[in-house]
Amino acid sequence: MPPLSESFFKSMFTFLPDEYKKIALKEYRFRLFSVWLGLVLVVCTLGAVVSIPSYSISHARTKNANTEHNALTHALKKNPITIEKEVTLVHEKLNLITTMADKHTLMSILERILSEKGNGTTITSLNIKRKEAGTVISISGIAESRDLLVAFSKRLQEEPSFLNVQLPVASLAKSKNVPFNMSFDSSF
């Protein structure tokens, strides 16, 4: 399609007299302006229509936030002790979170036991009993040698979260492939 410009328009109507060319050119410009104005109006109208839902949602959220703010302000003016209660409640929750973070989780306890086990020691069973004063953990397994078992027991004793590590003397009777039962307390 040829370009729609005035030079194209003028070359198209070279057979017309100058007077009619001016009228046709004026009519061409008017129609071109009308088409561009129509396109601009359509784009603006579509933009306005598309933005109506977001405006209404934004307006509703603003109105809701203002209503909540006014209600809270009114409640706080009416009863200033409410702020103190809320601060105390938040402080208690933070203290609870802090104390829970200090406690050891079951996974962390298991990871510590397995990391202290070392090569040559196999754990065949693990028993955990919760009590009011803490937790009792019992481990059974087989160590390749008595020395490996004693080293495992010492590493567990050095762990600060394990208390009262007990390795029965009967577990040290054999020197190789030593079956053992060990128990200790934990504070998790």
Task: Considering only CA atoms, give the Rg of the chain.
Answer: 43
Tell me phi and psi for residue 151, to 5 degrees. Answer: -65, -40
The pLDDT score that the predictor gives to residue 109 is 77
Which of the listed CATH numbers 3.30.1360.100, 3.40.630.30, 3.90.230.10, 1.10.150.20 matches domain 106-186?
3.30.1360.100
The amino acid sitting at 179 is P
pLDDT digits (tens, 9 = 90+) for 80-117: 777 778 778 888 888 777 766 555 567 777 788 887 87
Residue of 106, 107, 113 lying closest to 162 (CA atoms): 113
The pLDDT score that the predictor gives to residue 33 is 94
Q: Which pair of structure tokens corresponds to residue 90?
A: 């938040």
Give the global pTM: 0.44
Q: Output the CA torsion 159→161→167→172 (10° steps).
A: -20
pLDDT digits (tens, 9 = 90+) for 20-44: 888 888 898 999 999 999 999 999 9
Q: Output the CA torsion 19→23→24→29 (10° steps).
A: 140
The pLDDT score that the predictor gives to residue 32 is 93
The pLDDT score that the predictor gives to residue 1 is 46
Residue of 36, 4, 6 lying closest to 22 (CA atoms): 6
14 three-class SS: coil
pLDDT digits (tens, 9 = 90+) for 54-80: 889 999 999 999 998 888 788 777 777
CA 185, CA 138: separation in Å to the nearest integer?
9
Mean pLDDT on 140-158: 86
Asked whether the predicted pLDDT for residue 18 surpasses 60, the reply is: yes
